Amino acid sequence: MEREFQQIYLDTNVLAYVANKKAPQHRIALEIFRPNEKEQLFVSSQVMAEFYSYLTNPSILADP
């Protein structure tokens, strides 16, 4: 029997909130970032590029 997965496509904001422990949304983002056994997480190349820009910009994320 084939398993049915719920596909979840992450946005840049979710990744940013996971990385930034000071963000008020950090805890909620962590819950999304930790899928259960019936969920699969996906990230597009565009989101990865935006997240890289976020991580490498010290004026945005000085000290996560």
Supply the pLDDT for residue 35. Answer: 87
> What are 30's two structure tokens?
């962590």
How many domains does the chain contain in total?
1
CA–CA dist 4, 63 (Å, integer): 39
CA–CA dist 43, 58 (Å, integer): 23
> What are 48's two structure tokens?
């990865």
Supply the pLDDT for residue 31. Answer: 92
pTM: 0.80
- For residue 62, being part of any structural domain is answered with no
Q: What's the pLDDT tens digit per position in 12-48?
A: 999 999 998 889 999 999 999 998 999 999 999 999 9
- For residue 36, being part of any structural domain is answered with yes
Supply the pLDDT for residue 4. Answer: 87
- For residue 19, being part of any structural domain is answered with yes
CA–CA dist 32, 55 (Å, integer): 19
Domain extent for 14: 6-55
> What are 21's two structure tokens?
């422990």
CB atoms within 10 A of CB 16: 20
Supply the pLDDT for residue 62. Answer: 65
- For residue 38, being part of any structural domain is answered with yes
- For residue 29, being part of any structural domain is answered with yes
